[in-house]
Chain A
Amino acid sequence: MITINEVKKCYTLGENNSVPALDGVSFEINDGELVFVMGKSGSGKSTLLHILGGIDRPTSGIIKYGDIEITSLSERKLALFRRDNIGFVFQDYNLVPELTASENIKYPVLLAGRKPDRRLWEHLISTLELGDRLEHLPSQLSGGQQQRVAIARALISDPQVILCDEPTGNLDSEAAENVQNMLFRLNSDLKKTVVIVTHDSDFARKGKRTITLMDGRIT
């Protein structure tokens, strides 16, 4: 279970001028749950996702993954925690341009000093239909293919939690549908906890739970 308790995040824009991105957000996410986070631009969705994933720190408040309070972890421990427990999918994919698709997928596991699990690897490649694109550079892939690579990369270390920041934002409707289906299957088949930030209300409507943010607060 992920517990978010009174999380606040303020951005400082000079002296005596801070803008609250999150203002006392509290909620819980159960293991294996699929949660959509919606809201207008600037409502704090991405900030919430970043803080949830431990790539940003809240100004105040606590985030717990089970018994582990990630907001009090050191940078190194936090990095190791992310590596083993969290997978990210970003809107603009964030693939490493110098690495091929297969290398991009394997990279998180390699960083941890392990080899990718063969069964998981084959499952991901076949499920995401990347078999004939593995040796291509990101620049040689379409948006949908890049996003599928990004999803495979997020899953390769078999994390329990998948955090997606507008994963279909840059995709056409057909590619978006494919990605959406994959994310649903991750949740339903692999029992992964999935948190998806999106603007797409149709997409969010397919889920069971949606958290809506407005001006940094849950409405």
Chain B
Amino acid sequence: MKLITHYVLRNMSLHRARSIGAFLAYLVIMVFFAAELSMLDDFRISNETALDGIFGTHDGIFCTETPNVEQYGDFEATGVMAVKFTGTKDSEITDRLIIAGNADDTAVNLCSITAVEGRLPKTENEIALERSLHDILFPNSAVGDNISINITSSEKSQAVFLLCGIVNDFSGYQWDSSGNKPEMPNALVGGKCVDAMYYFVSVKGNVTGTDRAVFLPNQRNSLDLMNSMFGISSDNSAAILSVVLIMFVLISFVAVLFVFSRMNGKELGVLRSAGFDEKSVSAISAIRLSLLIVPALILGAVGGCAITMIRAGMVHCISIIKLAAFIVFSVVILCVAEIYWVKKGFRRPVNCELRKSPPKTGVKVTSSDPIWLYSLRSYIMNGQEISACAVTTFLAVMLLSISVSVNAQMRSTILQMERPYDMSVLFTDRTVTTLNVSRYNAGLSEQEFQALKNKGADVIGIKRQYVYELGVSDDSGDIYSDSRNDDIKQDMERLGFSDQDIFALRINGLDDDSVNYISGHIIDGEIDRIGLQTGTQAIWVSSGGADEHSVGDVIRLGFVVNSDPDEPSYDKMKYYEISVTICAVANFPFDSPDRKARALYDCIEGGLIWSDKAFENIGIQKGYDAVYLWFPEDNSAVYRLINDFQSHYGSLFHTTDYMHEQQVRTEITSQIEMVSVVFISGIAAVSLISFAVVTASRAAQRRKVYGYLRAAGLTGWQMFRLLMAENGISIAVSILSGAVLGWLLVCFLQIPMSGGWLIAVMAAGYAVVTACVCAIIAYRICRVSIAECIR
């Protein structure tokens, strides 16, 4: 053993260049592999929560318009599921909530749910009922009893639940049982789902019956996003990518090994003929290989993880475990392969005379061009070595073809993600009633609100804007069916708007009822109706808090519109501000839920500016009252609206605040892109490195032949041509077939393509780079002394 080790060390020392070449090949490949693998892990592990945090405050929204709890069976929710129960019992209309499933903290906090008796559900067969619903439906059942609920549209006719708790009456929702649409924080109501409530609840795991579930696109949950990010972020896809990557890297390793193994053939043959038995020769090969690859792979893994850490800040344990397992696996595989080749080549001492010549097959292949003659003959007679190179190239190009397509699709998805409030998805198939248009509005996020708020101390309120919809009204007749219509028309005439513009906006308009109602609560100043309607005046809704304003104060209001109706995105979102003067201060009692809703509705429309405290009094989160303005079907209306704003309100100007949310979103999307780019560049780098190593190694093996050819007058350019011709056929075939197969797989996997040209460009680029590699090797060969080559 000592002799063997001594020989191996001496051999590696004597063949430093060869050893260093192999070491670097393994090292660099491993660096890319480790970086990619750890990034995949890092991304896979962190993306779910990160994306949830960024692409939506909540995990998802689902709604049901069921008149019964029949839809319960369609949802396989592990989180809280809230179903509005609107069935009847003893002719009494109920309008209550049932909670079933595992109530998680987020949803519970969000919905302000508290158990007044028992506890909240923890498993799917448990249920908690609102107190009033319990009293109506199951007055004789107590917590701990089993109750059964009819499920009319499910296969089961009846579902049995354990009544685990009684919860409060959800007053925090501002539940409006009078038929008016409730103003609810975090809730969206509208259109056909007039009886439905949308709750922000955590729905994790599989959600079936998605025709009933609505996910707001701006609040994409991770599942939605991952599915659209094929190959990048989903668990399965990440696993598939990892396996593909591992296989690819292993093949690259074996290709490199194969060539290096043949370079050592002469020495092993000499040893074999000198009396070394098979085991000894195999041991030499295994030790030599291990000495090369073990440190190379470990260092490569460390380097790759370092890249990930620099980029992402952490490397998960799972990555390290995977990499360690891969190193062990690789070493074993490579050693077995090496020993196999050695045994196959040197089993019998007669083989130790070394490979004297290639077989005669292929002699018939000929060409009048000496470069092609040699190249074709070499290609035919040394097929194994070239095949090793060709296989890696083929796989690389195929993977790259798929990857660039996925990347293009991913970019497209990211662009779509940047459409924060894509209401067209939500409302496409809905019939909307007039004046329900407010339900088209989506609130600003807290960050957006804060971005406006932080602009200055004077920004104390956010102006809600409504888009009025004319074309899709299911009401007959005018836009407004009551006296408000005339009021608005009169207002518009006073303001100088044409009839065509009426549909577009009604800004700060107050109807007579509202004026009368507000007038009764004015404690200072007077209502300036025209001023309110033109946006130059506002009423301050006082609540006795610290943030009071008085008559005459000038305050600034902010709101948001999207400047590009075709492609709404944060980039194209503009923040507008308007300066208004407080003309009056009012104080409302807010003594009943109905009155609250009505007051809020009127006052927000009517230009009343609410103090924070006043909002709190009626349970409104002010952050969600700021409105993103986007017309769902005909965005030209938005333009007209903006133009009208700008023409009629001289104090209107827009700001260019950059939102925190956008920054975070950018970070996430750049992270996704980084994973994709690293994957593509990793594959390209690994394959090009293995190509370069294999080609350089083959050139080194043939240095004597090349030396002779150069002695016979082969110029540098001819050497380049020779190398290109020798490798070109296999490379061209590999690239072409890889690109075609990749394209077919892309079609098969139904990945939307931005165009086949992308694959063509990639393949052409790959070909150019391989040509450059050949040129460099040719240059290197020409720089080596001919005398050294033929010595």
Contacts and interface: CB of A to CB of B under 8 A. Distances in A.
Q: Bound pair: A and B?
A: yes
Interface in A48-63: 50, 53, 55-57
Given A94-B704, A97-B357, A98-B374, A83 B785 contact: no
A107 B722 CA distance: 13
Given A55-B790, A82-B713, A96 B370 contact: no
Interface in B629-684: none
B381 A111 contact: no
A110 B707 CA distance: 17
Contact of B708 (A47, A56, A96, A100): A96
B710 interface: yes
B751 interface: no
| Among A46, A79, A80, A84: residue with most chain B CB under 10 A | A79
Interface in B756-786: 782, 785-786
Contacts of B358: 97-98, 137, 139
B358 to A, nearest CB: 6
B89 to A, nearest CB: 93
A75 interface: yes
Contact of B712 (A50, A83, A135): A83
A82 B713 CA distance: 6
B356 interface: yes
Contacts of B736: none
Interface in A85-143: 88, 90, 94, 96-100, 103, 107-108, 110-112, 135, 137-140
A205 interface: no
Given A50-B787, A97-B705, A137-B357, A110 B373 contact: yes
A217 to B, nearest CB: 20
Given A94-B704, A97-B357, A103-B373, A47 B787 contact: yes
Nearest to A56: B787
A79 B357 contact: no
A43 to B, nearest CB: 15
A17 to B, nearest CB: 17
A115 B376 CA distance: 20
Contacts of B712: 82-83, 88, 107-108, 111, 153
Contacts of B374: 96, 98-99, 107
Given A53-B711, A56-B787, A137-B357, A96 B782 contact: no
A94 B715 contact: no
A112 B713 contact: yes
Interface in B328-371: 356-358, 360, 363, 369-370
A96 B712 CA distance: 12
A162 to B, nearest CB: 13
Contacts of A138: 357
B700 to A, nearest CB: 16
Given A99-B373, A99-B374, A137-B363, A83 B713 contact: yes
B193 interface: no
A207 to B, nearest CB: 24
Nearest to B705: A96
A76 interface: yes
B710 A98 contact: no
B718 interface: yes
B790 A108 contact: no
| Among A47, A53, A107: residue with most chain B CB under 10 A | A107
Interface in B694-732: 704-705, 707-716, 718
A47 B786 CA distance: 11
Given A137-B360, A139-B356, A96 B709 contact: yes
Nearest to A47: B787
Contacts of B370: 107, 110-111
B716 A139 contact: no
A123 B92 CA distance: 120
B183 to A, nearest CB: 85
A46 to B, nearest CB: 8
A148 B374 CA distance: 21
Contacts of B709: 96, 107, 111
B713 A98 contact: no
Contact of A111 (B363, B714, B786): B714
B378 interface: yes
A98 B381 contact: yes
A79 B711 CA distance: 7
A178 to B, nearest CB: 23
B596 interface: no
Contacts of A94: 704-705, 707-708, 790
A96 to B, nearest CB: 5
A83 B709 CA distance: 10
B715 A82 contact: no
Given A98-B381, A99-B373, A88 B711 contact: yes
B720 to A, nearest CB: 12
A79 B377 contact: no
Contacts of B782: 75
A53 B710 CA distance: 12
A54 to B, nearest CB: 9
Interface in B15-69: none
Nearest to B722: A111
A53 B787 CA distance: 10
B779 to A, nearest CB: 11
Contacts of B708: 88, 90, 94, 96
B214 to A, nearest CB: 69
A110 to B, nearest CB: 4
A76 B716 contact: yes
A83 B713 CA distance: 4
A76 B720 CA distance: 13
Interface string B199-223: 0000000000000000000000000
Contacts of A83: 712-713
B64 to A, nearest CB: 76
Contact of A55 (B363, B705, B711): B711
A14 B791 CA distance: 20
Nearest to B380: A98
Nearest to A110: B370
Given A53-B711, A75-B782, A137-B360, 11 more contacts: A56-B786, A56-B787, A76-B716, A79-B716, A88-B708, A97-B358, A107-B370, A107-B374, A108-B713, A110-B369, A111-B712
Q: List the 6 closest A-B pairs by CB distance, nearest first.
A: A83-B713, A139-B357, A110-B370, A56-B787, A55-B786, A98-B377
30 contacts: A46-B791, A50-B787, A53-B711, A55-B707, A55-B786, A56-B787, A57-B785, A79-B714, A82-B712, A82-B713, A83-B713, A88-B711, A88-B712, A94-B704, A94-B705, A96-B374, A97-B357, A97-B358, A97-B705, A98-B358, A98-B382, A99-B373, A99-B374, A99-B377, A108-B712, A111-B718, A137-B357, A138-B357, A139-B356, A140-B360
